[in-house]
Amino acid sequence: MPRVSVLMTTYNGAGFIARSIDSVLAQTWQDFELLVVDDASTDATPDILHACRDPRLRIVRNAAFAAASGEFIAALDHDDLSHPERLHRQVTHLEANPNIVLLGTEVRLDSAGLQRHPDHPAASDPLALRWLLLTDNPLTWSSVMFRADAVRRLGTFLRPEFELADDFDFYHRLLTIGEISRLNDVLTTFRFHPASASSHNAARLDDNAARVLAAAYTPWLGADAANAALLAVPHWLNRRPPSDAATLDRLGGILQRLVAGFCAPGNPGSITPDRIAALAGDLWWRTVRGATRAGSPWLLGHRRAYGALESGVRPSPRDIFVSAAVGLARACIARR
């Protein structure tokens, strides 16, 4: 029985899937099976799959997790790439850290050959990720490996009612039984392209992500949780700058309440509240900076409206000056 099952789903992936499969077959860790679910592709995808003679590749009709026999499950979308050391590094880390139920890697983003790093915070330890998942999705699905036993304990793998945000929902549910971590090394390439499912269904993705966050916020925000989540998704997960003082102030109030709840006695953040304050302060400054640079320089002063957040991070004078200058220039252009 292979130690690792790599799960890949595809629909009309002929332009990408061959390289994705090759990236799995080229792994330095060779004790794996590759399960591919073809969702009735109408292009050359079936021909590409059937042309692969490697016995480790199996084409399954549905429910790939049910067909998986590995102790560890690695995810990979049909348009992404696993670097050669990926499986070996993840298996080694999970074997050494039994409290970790899911492990991601750092990724490189590739858009038509242009490569860049993601803009999520660099913090990758379990406490940081537990906090970051309240305001972001710092994990790329194609980079994660998780324990098959953890899914059995949950009882359900990916829930269809959270389609497109089902990975985000999965991470939050896993936090009820163990910890999540991320390797800092780039071991996955995420190939972004206009045909990706998330590009065509952004509204549904956002709605389902907001439902996940609303459930996570409820213990601390109560009846305000759903509305708070509807603000968090566009402005924090999607990096859309707030354009007015009222929205910025609401985000500051939400963030301050989340910090208080997360750091309350008995919760994970109560162990290192200064660390959480720094992570929250960084998010607050990025929110204010985004609003300022988008053409609202007068919003720069709002960073001091929430003392606990403002004290968590000290932006450099240069960053403050450049943000104000960029915002002023854009405001002037908009008035013309």
**pLDDT for the residue numbered 198:** 60
- Per residue in 14-44, pLDDT tens? 989 999 999 999 999 999 999 999 888 899 9
Whole-model pTM: value is 0.94
**Considering only CA atoms, which of 252, 274, 253 is closest in space to residue 263?**
274
Domain range enclosing 9: 4-199
Cβ–Cβ contacts within 10 Å for residue 155, how many?
7
166 plus 114 within the same structural domain: yes
119 plus 189 within the same structural domain: yes
- The interaxial angle of helices 245-262 and 202-221, nearest 10 deg, is 50
Q: Is the predicted pLDDT of residue 313 greater than 90, yes or no?
A: no
Positions of E strands within 91-139: 100-111, 114-116
Cα 21 to Cα 67: distance, rounded to the nearest angstrom: 18
Q: Average pLDDT in the 247-254 region?
A: 96
94: helix, strand or coil: helix
Split at pLDDT 50, 70, 90, the class of 90 is: very high
- 274 in any annotated domain: yes
245 plus 151 within the same structural domain: no
Write the secondary structure of 304-323 as one string of H (helix), E (strand) and C (coil).
Answer: HCCHHHHCCCCCCHHHHHHH
Among 133-142, 229-238, 310-319, the minimum mean pLDDT is found in: 310-319
Q: Which two tokens stand for residue 307?
A: 């003392």
- 11 in any annotated domain: yes
- Per residue in 172-207, pLDDT tens? 999 999 999 999 999 999 988 766 666 668 899 999
Among 41-50, 89-98, 138-147, 207-216, the minimum mean pLDDT is found in: 41-50
- 194 in any annotated domain: yes
Split at pLDDT 50, 70, 90, the class of 253 is: very high
- 231 in any annotated domain: no
CATH of the domain at 71: 3.90.550.10
Q: H or E segment at 36?
A: strand 32-38
Q: Is the predicted pLDDT of residue 9 greater than 80, yes or no?
A: yes
188 plus 248 within the same structural domain: no
